[in-house]
A = this chain, B = another copy of it.
Amino acid sequence: MSKPPTENMARSTKQRTAILELLESDDAFRSAQDLHAILRESGSKIGLTTVYRTLQAFADAGMVDVMRLPGGDHLYRLCGAEEHHHHLVCRSCGKTVEVAGPTVERWAGKVAAEHGFTDVGHTLELHGLCASCSK
């Protein structure tokens, strides 16, 4: 993928700026609803629809990582890396570590080939308790 980061965002608005700043100040995954609530508490009049659309645009542009909760909710997090990677998330505090998984990529390709599958992609997530929350 080589999309320019702004492909889906022709303009710069205060709403987008606000969302971006909020994401920059937090390194855990947040839901659209959470972000919207936080912005409203901060005095912003931003609409929920806008938060959803903006986050999707960010995601399409590769500016944020998207993750799905068991319940099906979407969580977003700022992400600079262009590279393919996975996440190790603390299920207690939400702290997230980005992890490269060349081993897994190779394994996935091999297994897929063995079964005659082509054009194979994968989703992988690790969740546990971080060092602090383990105590």
From residue A44, how far is it (CB to closest CB) to chain B in Å? 28
- A128 vs B122: C-alpha distance in the bound complex, in angstroms? 9
Contacts of A97 in B (CB 8 A): 115, 117
B124 touches A129 (CB 8 A): no
A127 touches B116 (CB 8 A): no
- A97 vs B120: C-alpha distance in the bound complex, in angstroms? 13
Chain A residues at the B interface, C-beta cutoff of 8 Å: 68, 70-73, 88, 90, 97, 99, 101, 103-104, 107-108, 111-112, 115-131, 134
Residue contacts A-B, CB under 8 angstroms, 11 given? A68-B68, A88-B111, A90-B117, A97-B115, A97-B117, A103-B107, A104-B104, A107-B107, A116-B134, A119-B134, A124-B125
